[in-house]
Structure 1
Amino acid sequence: MSVSTCVRFRHAEEVWAAFPELSAGALYAAGVDAPADTRQRASVHTDRAVARLARGSEGEFPEVLAWRRTFTRMGLRPTQYRSASESLLRRLRKEGALPRIHPLVDLCNAVSVAYAVPVAVLDVDRIAGPLLEVRPARGDETYTAFGGGVEQPAPGEVTFVDSAGRAHARRWTHRQSGHSAVGAPTGRVLVVAEAMHDGGADAVAEVLKTVEEEVAAHWPATTAAAVLTAGTPEFAFGQ
């Protein structure tokens, strides 16, 4: 599947209205298919998270508690359906390391635990444009799990939906689709960071800045990024 000339990413008006505390940002990077060793830099970010976890578990972090409150408001049990950043922090605390998946994904996961903010990385060429929107599901969307099974998000469930009706996440920041997962052939990505805690706007801006710097240090890539708000909710990329 090829991306349209330009894709617009946004959060729907009803998402901003229901969650006015949302802070969000997006980064587009093209040219990340070259081999790269990100282990050293990723470890710098995970070390920062490990140091914080030594002072208290992730369940005490304001960033995590804010997402737990969000999941509760969505009618989900927050200890059953955890945000991606909480799941990574929990794994890091229990196992002392994060799984190695892909150089860029590993780097973004490390940044995610460093800031305790969910960071999604999607293969742009697996997104059907011209729109990728974070919105409540209608119930007719299709979601491909990492195991290959196809699911349908429940009506009202917040998910990332493209113009073909494909869901690229389930339960918002809980679980990303296997369809748009980054792999060896991936050349272009969309990175999305979202926060719900006080000070989230600054955290999201720092996450985007950090990811952009790390991409520039490891790949001959071109990047563009934007912090999103209810007043400026769209980020156009891929042109």
Structure 2
Amino acid sequence: MRFQHADDIWRDFPELVPAVISVRGVSADVSVADPVATFGELAAKRLAAASEGELPEIQAWRRAFSKMGLKPTQYRCASESLLRRFRKEGSLPRLHPLIDLCNAVSIAYAIPVAVFDTSKIAQYVQVRYATGDETYLTFSGETEHPPTGEVIFADAEGNAHARRWTNRQSGYSAIRDTTTDVLIVAEALHETAQSDIESLAATLCDELSAVWPVTPRPTILSASAPEFTA
């Protein structure tokens, strides 16, 4: 299993700082209520001082979406969508312990965190511009083909595991109760992205190890070291 960003993504977004974490041995029969509550409190404190759209982490993604030709308030990055819902409802829906934990960390840091079931990925994941031939499966079971030039997470068989960069994850590789091995990806573009991504990765690894009997493998990628191999 490999993960990397295509060269032209690094060229167009040199400020990008990604973290990748490989985890084997998760399950759905655990509770993450305490850490979810803790990270929710951190997010609430930030939102009490500024709306999600005013946070530097979100503003950086809005600039990236504009650069990709997307309307930032029509297509929001994953962390902005979560923060917006959290601000309005005071909580996030409970889906799966791993997703709940990653979503909570995401809103605390205002940084998108994606999680993929590696059993559904063919050989590798590459963040790249779509050619128009890839296949994307929605959560409702419909098949879509991302247009040429859209930033997607693609594997060796042309499956698009996420669309519009951090906007929409595929239902094909989504986490289920039967999932055991996962790939977690966090990406940031703001001025302090390097230190914030390092902190997020360390925090998430600590929480994962505290909940499951796992040994997470975190890696911070860069243009000079762009590939993660599990």
TM-score category of the 2 structures, normalised to the smaller one: over 0.9
CA contact under 8 A between 1:34 and 1:219: conserved in structure 2? no
What is the letter of the counterpart of residue 30 of structure 2? A
Other-structure match for 2:150: 157
- Partners of 2:46 and 2:216 in 1: how far apart? 30
Other-structure match for 2:13: 19
What is the letter of the counterpart of residue 95 of structure 1? E
Q: Which runs of 5+ in 1 are unaligned?
A: 1-6
Question: Is 1:100–2:94 an aligned residue pair?
Answer: yes
Match of 1:192 among 185, 188, 198: 185
- Partners of 1:212 and 1:171 in 2: how far apart? 26
Match of 1:44 among 38, 46, 56: 38
Match of 1:230 among 182, 201, 223: 223
Other-structure match for 1:59: 53
Match of 1:117 among 88, 107, 111: 111
Other-structure match for 1:3: none
TM-score by length of 2: 0.99
Match of 2:69 among 75, 79, 93: 75
- Partners of 1:52 and 1:34 in 2: how far apart? 30
CA contact under 8 A between 2:28 and 2:97: conserved in structure 1? no
Percent identity between the two aligned chains: 52
3-state SS, counterpart of residue 94 of structure 1: helix
- Partners of 1:34 and 1:61 in 2: how far apart? 32
3-state SS, counterpart of residue 216 of structure 2: strand
Alignment of 1:178-217 (within 5 A): 178-217=171-210
Match of 2:211 among 207, 211, 218: 218
Question: Is 1:135–2:137 an aligned residue pair?
Answer: no
For residue 40 of structure 1, report the CA deviation from its aligned partner: 1.0
What is the letter of the counterpart of residue 188 of structure 2? A
What is the letter of the counterpart of residue 11 of structure 2? A
**Cα deviation digits, residues 193-237 of structure 1 (max 9, x gap):** 000100101111111111111110000113211000000000001
Other-structure match for 2:167: 174
CA contact under 8 A between 1:195 and 1:204: conserved in structure 2? yes
TM-score by length of 1: 0.95
For residue 79 of structure 1, report the CA deviation from its aligned partner: 0.2
What is the letter of the counterpart of residue 37 of structure 1? S
For residue 34 of structure 1, report the CA deviation from its aligned partner: 5.5
Aligned length: 230
- Partners of 2:38 and 2:82 in 1: how far apart? 16
What is the letter of the counterpart of residue 209 of structure 2? A
What is the letter of the counterpart of residue 86 of structure 1? E
What is the letter of the counterpart of residue 141 of structure 2? G
What is the letter of the counterpart of residue 151 of structure 1? E
Which of structure 1's runs of 4+ aligned residues deviate more than 6 A?
Answer: none
Alpha carbon RMSD of aligned pairs, Å?
A: 0.7
- Partners of 2:137 and 2:122 in 1: how far apart? 14
**Cα deviation digits, residues 51-82 of structure 1 (max 9, x gap):** 11011110100100000000000000000000
Q: Which runs of 5+ in 2 are unaligned?
A: none
